[in-house]
Amino acid sequence: MNIGKLEEVALRELWKHEQYNFSDWLSKKENIDNLNEILGLNLTDILTETNVGGFQCDIFATDETSGMKVVIENQLEQSNHEHLGKLITYAAGLDAQVAVWIVKHAREEHRSAIEWLNNNTNEKINFFLLELRAYKIGDSLPAPQFVVIEQPNGFIKFNNSSNSISRSESERLEFWNKFNEKLIEAGKPFNSRKPSIRAWYDVALGIRSTHIAIELVNKESYIRVGLYSTNDRNLFDKLFESKQQIEEKLGMKLEWVREASDDVSRISYKIKGLNFDDHSNYDELIAKTIKLVIKMRDIFKNYINEQSN
């Protein structure tokens, strides 16, 4: 069986200019629908080049379900301060609740800036940072792909029919609030996230497509802490070669899953004892979780950095 090779296509070969080419392309329904799936929105009333003072916002839209206003800033290059400033200016000038920044490559300082904005603004404003890539196989048509680099931790997809939350979601929100309290008491050894109804809490490593995730699995009574890598089986394989040394340094046996899903690998450990009906051990569970995240972060970063040198 013949199998093609996936090749990345330069964005400037597809769109010469953000304003006149890419924004027009993105505003078309079949393309904005692709973005809708990533954001969890249903964007309508799409306008390009909306005036904001002496500037022009690339795309201004409205979420059909919630009525939230959305601004999109496009940059087919590496992220820079100028475009970050424009994103904030457009969000303020158009009174938007969602601000989306699409770039070719997100610099670490700009990823951190978007994370900081999500952590330090109220729940009425939500910032997304996406990378745009394009691929083809042989002579096939190029296929664009949006990759989420940063998103609001507590963002609820308003395309749901109801804004009410279940008991499990309420319990998660309570746990993450408690978690953040203990994280602050510990001196914030890593950045806190907005408490959310989601079952997971991501901790950035400053490494592209790789992060540590904390997952609440109440049904099976444990908290899972692990290194997650997206579209990088090679990284998993290299770390697996050092499996014994990594586990010795951590002082525990890990679960190594090369294909946790179609594009994600996971190296994790389960902390048992989670029970949404009994919060009496939350302080102990959270302390163990924070300690393990710190150890995993430091040990895995060292191994990853050694391999990249």
pLDDT band at 218 (very low <50, low <70, confident <90, very high): very high
In angstroms, how far apart are the furthest CA atoms of the chain? 61
Nearest to 295 by CA among 245, 241, 251, 232: 251
At the topology level of CATH, where does 167-308 sit? Yope Regulator; Chain: A, (3.30.1460)
Confidence of residue 153 (pLDDT cuts 50, 70, 90): low
The whole-chain average pLDDT of the chain stands at 88
Q: Is the pTM of this model over 0.75?
A: no
| pLDDT at residue 165, as a whole number | 63
pLDDT of amino acid 157: 40
The mean pLDDT value for 272-289 works out to 96
Confidence (pLDDT) at 309: 60
Q: What is the pLDDT confidence band of residue 161, given thresholds at 50, 70 and 90?
A: very low
So what's the pLDDT on residue 102? 96
Q: How far apart are CA 2 and CA 25, in angstroms?
A: 33
- Nearest 5°: CA angle at 253, between 251 and 257? 135
Report the b/e string of 49-83 with b at 16+ CB within 10 A: ebebeeeebbbbbbbebbebbbbbbbbbeebeeeb
Domain ranges for the chain, please list them. 6-150, 167-308
Sign of CA dihedral 116, 118, 121, 125: positive
Residue 176 has pLDDT above 90, yes or no: yes
What pLDDT, on a 0 to 100 scale, did the predictor assign at position 119?
A: 85
pLDDT tens digits for 230-266? Answer: 888 899 999 999 999 999 999 999 999 998 877 889 9
pLDDT at 181 (0 to 100): 94
The pLDDT, as a whole number, for residue 21 is 86
- HEC sequence for the chain: CCCCCEEECCHHHHCCCHHHHHHHHHHCHHHHHHHHHHHCCCEEEEEEEEEECCEEEEEEEEECCCCCEEEEEEEEEECCHHHHHHHHHHHHHCCCCEEEEEEEECCHHHHHHHHHHHHHCCCCCEEEEEEEEEEEECCCCCEEEEEEEECCCCCCCCCCCCCCCCHHHHHHHHHHHHHHHHHHHCCCCCCCCCCCCCCEEEEEEEECCEEEEEEEEHHHCEEEEEEEEECCHHHHHHHHHCHHHHHHHHCCCCEEECCCCCCEEEEEEEEECCCCCCCCCHHHHHHHHHHHHHHHHHHHHHHHHHHHC
pLDDT at 284: 97
pLDDT beyond 70 at 158 = no
For the structural domain made of 6-150, what CATH number should be given? 3.40.1350.10
Q: Which residues pair with 217 in a beta bridge?
A: 222
State the pLDDT at residue 25.
92
Residue 276 has pLDDT above 90, yes or no: yes
The pLDDT of residue 163 is: 46
pLDDT at position 159 is 39
Q: Give 294: exposed, middle or buried? Use CB within 10 Å, 0-12, 13-18, 19+.
A: middle
User: pLDDT exceeding 70 applies to what percent of the chain?
Assistant: 93
- Nearest-angstrom CA–CA distance, 240 and 235: 9
User: What is the rounded distance in angstroms from the CA atom of residue 125 to the CA atom of residue 155?
Assistant: 10
Q: What is the mean pLDDT of residues 78-88?
A: 95
- With a cut of 90, say whether residue 30 has pLDDT above it: no
Residue of 189, 182, 193, 254 whose CA lies nearest to 225 = 254
pLDDT, mean of residues 183-200: 85
